[in-house]
A and B are shown apart, each in its own frame.
Chain A
Amino acid sequence: MKRNCWNDQNGRFLPEMSLDFMPVDKLKQVQLQRLQATVSLAYEKVPLFRSRMDEKKLKPSDIKSLKDITLIPFSMKKDLRDTYPYGLFATDMKQVVRLHASSGTTGKPIVVGYTQEDMDVWAQVIKRGLLATGYTSDDIVQNFYGYGLFTGGLGVHGGLESLGATVIPVSGGNTERQIMIMKDFEVTAIAGTPSYFIRIIDVAEKMGIDLKTLKIKRGLFGAEPWSDGMRDYIEERTGIKAYDIYGLSEIIGPGVGCECECQNGIHIYEDHFYPEIIDPETLEPLPDGQEGELVISTLSKQAMPILRYRTRDITSIEATPCPCGRTIRRIKRIGRRSDDMFIIRGVNVFPSQIETALLRAEKALPHYQIVLDRKNHLDTVEVKVEVSRDMMSDSMSDMDSLNKRFSHSIEQILGISVLVTLCEPDSLPRSEGKAKRVIDNRAIGGSL
């Protein structure tokens, strides 16, 4: 039987799928009802939201249409830190069945909570992403997102179980064992961070295992921005289809949005998460199609409703409908985050630009790290690049020209000179499978 948007591959009706195709009027009606309920909940139960709304003399009853969302004050990561650990919770701890937290590499971690209803929504939205990218209950899925306090591992796990797929909860790390499991367990699909999968690709090659000969057909990647170049690289090297799943812990974790099989933008599960784009400088809302900062309000979260959360992710809402027919809107894939941006000698630089430059120079995607420093009042950029076997040569002059190819390519894109340093594999730090791309020593170590 031919699959269509309402049924799975066996022709069974899937109620979750129909949510992606809701008529727009109906969707807006659901969004407004849920927004009103969320604003009331936040106002009644969360002192921070209440005091901010009181300051603006705003009452929940003032939200009469979706447009009125722009009246509500923004929230941001700092609010979660300031109210650490439970200050933004809207329910009693008795109702909270799960806690997650950020890794806390900078100061205190942020803590997020879920009621059982929240957990069900979380599993449902990830299941919708899995269905949209061709996962079925027949799949054997290796989940190498980190398990634990990080929302990635257990979040995707819940979605996979809800789909009825066979989950292998391998978590991150021990790359050789990952590859052994992929092969021996006849894994048909995977999920994890793209930078860690690049590592798996490199190690598999070292072990003499061609991932193209395995049964893996698709992968869901997220938790960090990754470029189209990286997608092409993954798909060419492994023969799998690579899809982008979007999310952030503050909202729910992975599953705020996901690509469909068209691979042309991330559909936001708008019936649960309301997206807006604002100008990060003026904070004014921007129309569909225009690039700015993504702001999300939760529409159904119970334990921790969040209103107008500034994600720092830079994207735009696609103005045209997707060929798949989903009525839920898409955002452009996240290439950069406003807080990833650094300014060097007056030039705005995003790590994704360095990634593009490295791919252009070598048609390979090495692990890299950007180190910013200040020497004699001058900002310096060092790009450390891990050398793989493919890139290595026995000739010193070849190695020097590899270095020059990288630095030329970066200079062409950024217009500023950088120092490229070739490093040994695994010598650059990785945290939780997420790549830590920028180290800024200018404020602490540099001589100002």
Chain B
Amino acid sequence: MKIPQISIFVSNRPGRIHAVCQSLADADINLLSLTLADSGEFGLIRIIVSHPEKAVEVLGKSGIVAIVTDVVACEVSALKGGLAKLLSTPAGSLQIDYMYAYPTCHQKDKAIMILRFTDPDEAIALLEEAGVKLLSKKDILG
């Protein structure tokens, strides 16, 4: 139930996000989600793409440093209190490094949250035990 997410190190300069997106576009790789974290001189771009292994390879060839990180995709209710409910399960008290909303969900009353746990295996076990619906790699990447 782990989803491969790609984390990319970029200098904080104009044009670097474009360079990443162009390398992926040239290799026919589809971007499914993108978030940015920045720290003055550099930033981390975190993306989920249709072809993760190929993405790391093409980025590497363009001289861009990228690594694969495992994240977990949880389905939550899109109604009030949906995310609070997820975090009230035992998994919610584990160390969460960061989280973000996955942009595409085909069901109106549902949302998908991407969570990065320090220990994803332990989190998956706890989430499954609590009856949280986890999306598989196939669900997300297609």
Residues of A within 8 A of B (CB): 206, 387-389, 392-396, 399-400, 421-427
Given contacts A424-B9, A424-B10, contact A394 B116 (CB under 8 A): yes
Q: Could you tell me if B11 and A427 are in contact, using CB atoms closer than 8 angstroms?
A: yes
Q: Count CB-based A-B contacts (< 8 Å).
A: 53
Docked Cα-Cα span, A424 to B16, in Å, equals: 10
Chain A residues with Cβ under 8 A from B9's Cβ?
A: 387, 392, 399, 422, 424
Distance to closest chain B CB from A22 (angstroms): 50
Distance to closest chain A CB from B24 (angstroms): 17
Chain B residues with Cβ under 8 A from A423's Cβ?
A: 11, 41-42
Chain B residues with Cβ under 8 A from A394's Cβ?
A: 5, 7, 44, 46, 67, 69, 97, 116
Q: Could you tell me if B44 and A424 are in contact, using CB atoms closer than 8 angstroms?
A: no
Q: Could you tell me if A424 and B39 are in contact, using CB atoms closer than 8 angstroms?
A: no
Q: Could you tell me if B65 and A388 are in contact, using CB atoms closer than 8 angstroms?
A: yes
Chain A residues with Cβ under 8 A from B16's Cβ?
A: 424
Chain A residues with Cβ under 8 A from B67's Cβ?
A: 389, 392-394
B3-18 vs A, CB cutoff 8 Å, 1 = contact: the mask equals: 0010101110000100
The residues in B between 97 and 122 inclusive whose CB is less than 8 angstroms from any CB of A are 97, 116
The residues in B between 1 and 40 inclusive whose CB is less than 8 angstroms from any CB of A are 5, 7, 9-11, 16, 37, 39
Chief secondary structure at chain A's binding surface: loop
Does residue B90 face the partner (Cβ distance < 8 Å to A)? no
Q: Could you tell me if A395 and B65 are in contact, using CB atoms closer than 8 angstroms?
A: no
Given contacts A387-B9, A394-B69, contact A422 B63 (CB under 8 A): no
Given contacts A399-B39, A400-B39, A424-B11, contact A392 B46 (CB under 8 A): no
Which single member of B37, B60, B63, B97 contacts A424 (CB below 8 Å)? B63
Distance to closest chain B CB from A204 (angstroms): 12
Docked Cα-Cα span, A324 to B133, in Å, equals: 71
B42 nearest CB neighbor, chain A only: A422
Distance to closest chain A CB from B40 (angstroms): 9
Chain A residues with Cβ under 8 A from B5's Cβ?
A: 394
Docked Cα-Cα span, A234 to B133, in Å, equals: 49
Nearest 4 CB-CB pairs, A to B? Answer: A394-B7, A394-B69, A424-B11, A421-B41
Q: Could you tell me if B65 and A387 are in contact, using CB atoms closer than 8 angstroms?
A: yes
Given contacts A424-B9, A424-B11, contact A392 B65 (CB under 8 A): yes
